[in-house]
Structure 1
Amino acid sequence: MTTATAPYIDFDGQYIAGAWRPGRLGRTGVDTDPYSGTTLAEIALANEADLDEAYRAAESAQHDWAALLPAERTAVMLAAVTIMQDRREEIIDWLIKESGSTRGKAELEWQLVHAITAEAASFPNRMTGMILPIDEPGKESRSYRQPLGVIGVISPWNFPMYLSHRSIGPALALGNGVVVKPAEDTPITGGLLLAKIFEEAGLPPGLFNVVIGPTSEIGDPFTLHDIPSLISFTGSTGVGRRIGQLAMQAPRIKRVALELGGNAPFVVLDDADLDDAVPAAVLGRFLHQGQICMSANRFLVDASLHDEFVERFVAQVEELEYGDPHDEQVTIGPIINQKQLRAHLANIDAATKAGATQLLGGAPDGQLLPPHVFVNARHDNPIVQNETFGPIAPIVSVHGEQDALRLANATPFGLSSAVFSRDEERARRFALGIRAGMTHINDHPVADTPTGPFGGEKNSGIGRFGGEWIIREFTREHWVTARHQSASYPSPYTRGGGTRT
């Protein structure tokens, strides 16, 4: 952040129709630091009338925005890129104190947000149409690509700024209006901070709106509202199912882009290089306390390497520091809230009762939970079958490649995955056998880029984010034909007059 740039302030309400104002619900939400418990903001919450105003503002502003020249929309996106660079430290600080990000994770998230904004700046010039072949003389067939209109975004708390902005940035660049409902734990980094950035970048008022309110008040109406053409949701499979059902029940059926839960297998084949596999396993599980949908949720290690893998893995995990996320030496920060912490403790208890052996662990300190490592976990153990979303690592011994592939696919989820082998061709064949949207060879499964097709299979979601894929998700194709000369229609349709039968 440059010395001339004053920090953003006044995160105490909604951003609707280009105005910062309190919500009308008559209740206040308290935004707290999950490590210290310090109050960061008290926000006057929105009700359904606020939501309606936000959608109508986005619809009204979208038409003129879509009509701008591509270079004009690109200029706003590039201005936002520059602001993000100037405010890098300010953004990182907010990510640390609101979402419990460690310094390293917050820096990574800033990089992702910055990168997707720069990528989105190219989108106005990539909304290409097509002239299609047609077997009719004197007629032309065209496909036009147009904005959807207004897109509703519901984002989670774990990577709040990035998982909001990977929808917001592309949607705006492609000529859409946006309304975002950020997670109640991260209203600033998930929405209000982006609103400040785009306001400073010169985005027309009303085009981007942030509504912060309880799900009980504005959750279902957010999807059921008549204006949005698409709902982009990142979160749990259960909530995603609900949004998909509501999207079909709404008076105006709408599209959905759903990035849901995961249960990523981290597979170590019998020829894997443990010098590569073990550090990747530690990062892939414990980055951001395991609170990532792509986290390595279960380790499937060939029996021939199992004991050595466990020994090395435990040794490296024991060296991880947990505590104040502002401390650059800390790699594991706080769990986001007490509800999540209670769920982790229940998972740990269930794992032990189901026969798993705990090698590392410890009691929580406030919302800090030390890393937990289990072995002797059968594949039906709850910590193997469920997405734990915390610093809990189960290691499962497998017997050969086919056993590993069978267990990798023995889940209703299919988001990310990883496989380690010295033979890259073998690993490629194995990767293609996994029913998942993404597989990473000799690397951890927590990977995302602004140009890759990010998304899942099975119960992990519908649609793809990134690059050409998000352009297709957030636009519509309009088929238009044009006849350049008189047609020769069949004679029954061209006779003059008419007869009554």
Structure 2
Amino acid sequence: MSKYEYLNKSFIYGQWTEGLSDRTYDIRNPYDNSVITQVRLATISQLQEAFKLAKEAQKSWAKTSAVQRKVIIQKAVDYLKENRDEIVSVIIRETGGTHLKAYGEHSTAIADLEDAINMADEMEKVKEVGTTVDGKVNRIYRMPIGVISSISPFNFPMNLSTRTIGPALALGNSVVHKPDIQVGLTGGSILAKAFEEAGLPAGVFNVILTDISEIGDEMIINPIPGFVSFTGSTAVGRHVGELAGKNLKRVALELGGNDPLVVLSDADVDRAVDAAIFGKFLHQGQICMIANRIIVHQTLYQDFVSKFAEKAKNLKYGDPRDPQTVIGPMINERQLERALQAVNEAKEAGVIFALEGERIGNILTPYVIVNVDNSSKLAQTELFGPIALIIKADSDEHAIELANESESGLSSSIFTGDLQSGERLALQIDSGMTHVNDQPVNCQGNIPFGGTKGSGIGRFGSPWIIEELTVYKWVSIQTKYRDFPF
């Protein structure tokens, strides 16, 4: 039994608080469906109270010095580092992630918080600007927004939470955070424990363990938070954006992707295959940046397909607790059935399978589908599973055109032997991020992480997230008597 299994309560105003709903939720291990812990869900009234308490706590937190905020965040980082192995074990059991995924997620979450530490200094920088009025001094201050509403998903719940929570706290905001209840420990409770141990004042960071049937749209429409951070599907993101807009709230929305990995005519096929295997099957394909469409120049197509399918066939699948496992379980039955439905629809449409996977318990082994029509429903769907689609391009120019034929624009990648040309073509792909001679699943804290088109609004990463989570205030001081015209 892990000590974190007992953190199955919401964390409100510094207290581990039992939910008041008459409903409970079993957090399960997606590999074998065993119950990790049971949560009594928080109610909408508890969420509303959390927002009120966060508002009060933020007033004092905003007055703390940058040094004080930095010390507390550093202590939370230290806690996560000191308890790494036990936290990683929970990530594996709760998300179904492999060792590689779990250790990577833990490391990225720590990096997010460490990047946030230095953001605290931005709040103490005051800029003076010129004036046309005699005797006036103009100063521009950066101010926290106030209360941040944070909503994170099931796939990488820890670092997709810390990338908002860390900067928000460093910049003087308070946070009410709702992780996906399926991964409530990884996405919320462990972080709450880290900040509790770090001595964060009560109410500055709150975690609500609940679901939409209990709270509805309260995370978005509650009048207290001035900013909503949401990571999830494009469909839900549109709903969040619509409600936030009606209530004049700022948002950062990191949404779905239909990310292309483009292999040009002069690419090294073996290296492209290696990258595409990783960029397609990491965490069973349950990543918004995953290579959803692999677009290959016709002269390399057969060679690429043959090598890719052979390598995919030999990926080890099974219990994610085994360090050698590459393909673990899907997060839940609904996601698994959704992936199988896409496969069945593809079969009915008569597409060709270079490799046909199978369901083994909650695991879906890799599928490789070839000669896919880029305009088909299959290619225009974010599959979020271990299903690789390989599309043939007539030319390099055609490959870039195919890459852009999507409503999404999160990440992308290009393989080429000409780096200068690759960088030029990267700018022609309409996505927030493009990687030359790499796969599309890349993330680091000092880049503007985010998408275009249906993949979202706003940017995470330093310093761009600072602009998202703060507002500017102009203060002028009239040092001389001003003679008014009337």
Q: TM tier, shorter chain?
A: over 0.9
Deviation readout 1:85-144 (Å, 9 max, x if unpaired): 101101110110000000110011011001111111111113333222333332222211
Determine whether 1:96 maps to 2:130.
no
- Secondary structure in 2 matching 1:179: strand
RMSD of aligned C-alpha atoms? Answer: 1.2
Matches within 5 A, 1:63-74: 63-74=59-70
Question: How far does residue 9 in structure 1 lie from its aligned partner after superposition?
Answer: 4.8
Determine whether 1:401 maps to 2:396.
yes
Match of 2:170 in 1: 173
Question: How far does residue 80 in structure 1 lie from its aligned partner after superposition?
Answer: 1.1
Partner of residue 412 from structure 1, selected from 395, 407, 413: 407
Contact 1:354 1:381 in 2 (8 A): no
- TM-score by length of structure 2 reads 0.98
Structure-2 separation of matches of 1:330 and 1:423: 35
Partner of residue 207 from structure 2, selected from 205, 210, 219: 210
Q: Counterpart amino acid of 1:139?
A: K
Q: Counterpart amino acid of 1:263?
A: N
Determine whether 1:138 maps to 2:135.
yes
Structure-1 separation of matches of 2:334 and 2:310: 30
Contact 2:5 2:185 in 1 (8 A): no
Question: How far does residue 489 in structure 1 lie from its aligned partner after superposition?
Answer: 3.0
Contact 1:272 1:420 in 2 (8 A): yes
Contact 2:312 2:366 in 1 (8 A): yes
Question: How far does residue 488 in structure 1 lie from its aligned partner after superposition?
Answer: 3.4
Structure-2 separation of matches of 1:199 and 1:259: 28
Determine whether 1:392 maps to 2:387.
yes
Contact 1:356 1:378 in 2 (8 A): no
Match of 1:52 in 2: 48
Question: How far does residue 355 in structure 1 lie from its aligned partner after superposition?
Answer: 3.2
- Secondary structure in 2 matching 1:180: strand
Contact 1:438 1:456 in 2 (8 A): yes
Deviation readout 1:147-189 (Å, 9 max, x if unpaired): 1100000110000111111111111111110001111211111
* Unmatched tracts of structure 1, length 5 or more: 1-5, 494-501
Q: Counterpart amino acid of 2:371?
A: N
Determine whether 1:225 maps to 2:226.
no
Determine whether 1:34 maps to 2:55.
no
Deviation readout 1:412-467 (Å, 9 max, x if unpaired): 10000000111111001110001110001111100110111000001100000000
Determine whether 1:157 maps to 2:154.
yes
Matches within 5 A, 1:247-396: 247-250=244-247, 253-396=248-391
What's the % identity of the aligned pairs?
45
Partner of residue 196 from structure 1, selected from 193, 198, 205: 193
Partner of residue 80 from structure 1, selected from 66, 76, 82: 76
Contact 1:355 1:376 in 2 (8 A): no
Question: How far does residue 319 in structure 1 lie from its aligned partner after superposition?
Answer: 1.7
* Unmatched tracts of structure 2, length 5 or more: none
- TM-score by length of structure 1 reads 0.95
Structure-1 separation of matches of 2:188 and 2:8: 12
Q: Counterpart amino acid of 1:103?
A: H
Structure-2 separation of matches of 1:156 and 1:198: 20
* CA distance 1:9–1:33, change in 2 (3 Å): closer
Q: Counterpart amino acid of 1:217?
A: E
Contact 1:94 1:189 in 2 (8 A): yes
Match of 2:231 in 1: 234
Structure-2 separation of matches of 1:109 and 1:453: 19
Q: Counterpart amino acid of 1:104?
A: L
Match of 1:61 in 2: 57
Structure-1 separation of matches of 2:134 and 2:427: 45
Determine whether 1:483 maps to 2:481.
no
Contact 1:257 1:473 in 2 (8 A): yes
Q: Counterpart amino acid of 1:219?
A: G
Q: Counterpart amino acid of 2:342?
A: N
Q: Counterpart amino acid of 1:176?
A: N
Q: Counterpart amino acid of 2:83?
A: R
- Point out the structure with max Rg over C-alpha: 1
Q: Counterpart amino acid of 1:12?
A: N
Contact 1:347 1:382 in 2 (8 A): no
Deviation readout 1:211-257 (Å, 9 max, x if unpaired): 1212022131111111101010000011111111111233xx21111
Higher mean displacement: 481-490 or 179-188 = 481-490
Structure-2 separation of matches of 1:412 and 1:481: 45
Matches within 5 A, 1:411-490: 411-490=406-485
